[in-house]
Amino acid sequence: MTDTVLIVGAGPVGLTMALELARYQVPVRLIDKMTKRGDTSRAIAIWPRTLELLNRAGASAELIALGNKVTAANIIAGSEPMARVQFDDVDTPYPFALMLPQSDTEAVLERHLERFSAPSELGVELITFTQDADGVTATLRHADGRVEAEKFGWLIACDGSHSPIRHSLGLSFEGGTMGTDWALGDFHMTGSPYPLNELFTYWHEDGPLIFFPMAPGRYRIIASLAPSNGAMPVPPSPEAFQAIVDRRGSRNIVLGDAVWTSTFRINERQISTYRAGRVFLAGDAAHVHSPAGGQGMNTGMQDAINLAWKLAMVCRGLSANPSLLDSYDTERRPVGAEVIATAGRLTKIATIHNPIAQHIRNVVAHFALGLSPVQQALKGSMTEISIGYHDSPLNDTASGNSQAGKRMRPLDDEIPYGAGDAPRFTLRAGRASGEPTPALRSDLVDPAIRPAAHGAGIELVRPDGYLAVSAAARDWASIETYLDRLAKGSRPRPHDAALRHAG
Ligand SMILES: Cc1cc2nc3c(=O)[nH]c(=O)nc-3n(C[C@H](O)[C@H](O)[C@H](O)COP(=O)(O)OP(=O)(O)OC[C@H]3O[C@@H](n4cnc5c(N)ncnc54)[C@H](O)[C@@H]3O)c2cc1C
């Protein structure tokens, strides 16, 4: 039996998964059948919560140095401003959306992975796999035709929306396809009505037109086309893009050279379970949705971060019960479902075609999006800082703890972790709490105690920065009880019954 983890797919999600496991000193192999990385921009938005989480592997500073910080999003209907959402007052060390081509994001993650001597292996394809109670046996084919079979402890499918692993497991990918075709283009551009740090959307009777500022004079443009009808359309010519911009946007905007153009259709689908025995699915392999809101890649990376510490605790034989792994599905599937629902709603609102309904939408949006609670809700969901695991089986419910599962803001002096990290819970405590009891020493908890953000009580924070327990001052017993429960495992392992062969 080996605890080496095989990660299939070295896109942003597979890279994040490998980086997290490698810094927790779990042996990994990250393979991808592509022989060369793509150089197109694809996902260009990285949201604050993702930056908070990637900072623990030391990757955020380099990403930020390469990207463009966007601090506001505007919606315009005709020539009338409808709404403005600002990110610069969000309570995070990263109060902005970072615009960075996916190819650059992948290059940064790859460089960080190399620090842990675990680079991705390109030109290696997973052909088949079988699993049993001890592990997963995978057959891999190299680009030169060489075939190898190896046994791994676990298999993680980061193999994208067409996931061969999902197909092998026979897992359904429920959902459908939205009925409109879309065009996107990365253009050199002049005449933007907004500064470089603001993105803007036009709601027009023909459909929406969105501008993402990527770098000085360079923008990602997305526009809806006609209703889907048969084959995927070819991307519009630069002249056709300019005509769309003139009609739906502003005649002051002048498009220059196109760096990349493409068309796409929106699928909204989610897998029925994120775990099948020793196989986990993450990223586009588990959920796909509208790019409205730019959450796809971010959601996948956060899947990886949620799973990595749990798997690391189990692989390293720390005193956490393996049933901990079941919480990956319990926690991340509802998040995926919510992202699909929200992105779908935003897309439907933006693509309303009936002129009367458009008028009503504009009036309602102008009013509602000016309300502070609506603004806060929108900010929380776009920046992903409102994501939490409030119904998680990992939450301490014994002490009537209603805050458990919430995101914990990183501490201002938090430094990135490095090689040799263990996946550990951290303690934050007020002065009045004194020292922890000797019985609390556990290989699951970092011995250093940080100051509590609120009051004098004790907070136990998960390795992925969510609150596990909030206890009263000096109530170290609640923390002990929680860790004891984690070691014993309080729930059955439904996925064990789902172990089966695939390939
Ligand atoms: C045009 C476009 C714009 C987008 N814009 C945004 C945006 O603004 N914000 C956002 O968050 N998201 C956006 N997305 C979505 C984003 O690109 C995806 O969510 C993201 O790439 C998913 O990452 P992933 O790692 O899960 O999968 P992928 O990036 O698809 O990677 C899967 C990898 O698995 C490999 N693979 C498959 N099968 C095998 C096998 N058998 N053996 C070995 N390797 C295999 C593939 O070669 C591939 O490299 C956009 C997508 C597109 C297409």
pLDDT, tens digit, 9 for 90 and up, residues 44-76: 999 999 999 999 999 999 999 999 999 999 999
Taking Cα atoms as reference points, which of 160, 205, 202, 210 lies closest to residue 183? 210
Atom of ligand 1 minimally distant from the CA of 32: 44
Q: Which two tokens stand for residue 102?
A: 């996916």
| Winning range, highest mean pLDDT, from 262-271, 276-285, 451-460 | 276-285
Atom 48 of ligand 1, nearest CA residue: 9
Contacts with 337 (C-beta within 8 Å, 6 or more apart), sequence order: 270, 287
User: How confident is the model at residue 500, as a pLDDT?
Assistant: 37
Asked whether the predicted pLDDT for residue 276 surpasses 60, the reply is yes
Q: Give per-residue pLDDT as tens, 172-213.
A: 999 988 888 999 999 999 999 999 999 999 999 999 999 999
The answer to whether residues 430 and 456 touch, using CB atoms and an 8 Å cutoff, is: yes
Strand partners, 83: 75
User: Each residue of 56-84: b (16+ CB within 10 Å) or e?
Assistant: bbbbbebbbeebbbbbbbbbbbeeeebbb
Choice from 32, 46, 167 to test ligand 1 binding pocket (greatest atom count within 8 A of CB): 32
**Distance from residue 108's CA to the centre of ligand 1 (Å):** 16
Q: Tens of pLDDT along 2-20?
A: 589 999 999 999 999 999 9
pLDDT digits (tens, 9 = 90+) for 278-322: 999 999 999 998 877 788 999 999 999 999 999 999 999 998 999
| 124 CB-near residues (< 8 Å, 6+ apart) | 31, 32, 33, 140, 141, 142, 143
Query: 13 alpha carbon to ligand 1 midpoint, in Å?
Result: 8
Centroid of ligand 1 to alpha carbon of 106 (angstroms)? 11
- Per cent of the chain over pLDDT 90 is 67
**283 C-alpha to center of ligand 1: Å?**
8
CATH 3.30.9.10 range(s) for the chain read: 176-267
Residue 492: which pLDDT band, with cuts at 50, 70 and 90? very low
Residue 496 has pLDDT above 50, yes or no: no
> Taking 60 as the threshold, does the pLDDT of residue 452 lie above it?
yes
Pick the CATH number of 5-68+93-174+268-383 from 3.40.50.150, 3.40.50.300, 3.50.50.60, 2.30.110.10: 3.50.50.60
When pLDDT is averaged across residues 377-388 and rounded to a whole number, the result is 89
Rounded distance from Cα 160 to ligand 1 centre (Å): 5
Task: Count the residues in the chain.
Answer: 503
Residue 262 CA: which ligand 1 atom is closest? 1
Cα of 299 vs centre of ligand 1, distance in Å, is: 12
Which pair of tokens denotes residue 156?
């993680």
Cβ(80)–Cβ(206) under 8 Å? no
Taking the centre of ligand 1 as the mean of its atom positions, its distance from the CA of residue 194, in whole angstroms, is 30
Closest C-alpha to ligand 1, atom 4: 43
Mean of pLDDT values over 228-257: 92
Over residues 79-97, the mean pLDDT reads 92
Ligand 1 atom closest to 12 (CA): 25
Expressed in angstroms and rounded, the spacing between residue 297 Cα and the centre of ligand 1 is 7
- Rounded CA separation 84/216 (Å): 21
**Contact (Cβ atoms closer than 8 angstroms) between residue 155 and residue 279:** yes
Q: Using CA atoms, how far apart are residues 332 and 329, in angstroms rounded to an integer?
A: 5
Separation of alpha carbons 250 and 224, rounded Å: 17
pLDDT of residue 502: 39
pLDDT of residue 41 exceeding 70: yes
pLDDT > 70: percent of the chain: 94
Instruction: Tell me the C-alpha to C-alpha distance, in Å, between residue 394 and each of 202, 329, 378, 429, 472.
Output: 43, 12, 27, 20, 19
pLDDT computed for residue 503 by the predictor = 35
Q: Which atom of ligand 1 is nearest to the CA of 125?
A: 42
Distance of CA 284 from the midpoint of ligand 1 (Å): 6
Let me know: does 213 contact 99? Beta carbons within 8 Å.
yes
Ligand 1: centre distance to CA 380 (Å): 25
Position in ligand 1 atom list of the atom nearest CA 184:
1
Fold that domain 176-267 belongs to in CATH:
D-Amino Acid Oxidase; Chain A, domain 2 (3.30.9)
412-443 residue pLDDT tens: 766 666 556 789 999 999 888 888 877 777 88
Tell me, what's the pLDDT at 439? 73
Which atom of ligand 1 lies at the shortest distance from residue 285's CA? 26
Residue ranges matching CATH 3.50.50.60 in the chain: 5-68+93-174+268-383
Pocket around ligand 1 at a 6 A CB cut-off: 8-14, 31-34, 42-45, 102, 125-126, 158-160, 164, 184, 262, 264, 283-284, 291, 294-298, 300
**How far is 214 from 327, CA to CA, in rounded Å?**
37
3: its two tokens: 């605890």
Neighbours of 11 (CB within 10 A): 27
* Nearest of 337, 311, 333, 306 to residue 323 by alpha carbon: 311
The DSSP bridge pattern shows strands 425-429 and 458-461 to be antiparallel
Measured CA angle at 35 (ends 33, 38), to 5 deg: 100
| CA–CA distance, 456 with 430 (Å, rounded to integer) | 4
Write the burial class of residue 451 (CB in 10 Å: 0-12 exposed, 13-18 middle, 19+ buried).
exposed
Of 103, 108, 92, which is closest to residue 47 (Cα–Cα)? 92
Q: Which residues contact 290 (CB under 8 A, 6 or more apart)?
A: 178, 266, 268, 343, 344, 346, 347
In this structure, the residue with its CA closest to atom 35 of ligand 1 is 9
Comparing 215 with 232, the larger pLDDT belongs to: 215
Q: 3-class SS at 131? A: strand
Q: Which of 46, 139, 159 to mutate to test the pocket of ligand 1 (most atoms within 8 A of CB)?
A: 159
Segment holding 74, helix H or strand E: strand 72-77
Average pLDDT of the segment spanning 220-238: 89
Q: What's the rounded Cα separation, in Å, for the pair 337 and 321?
A: 27
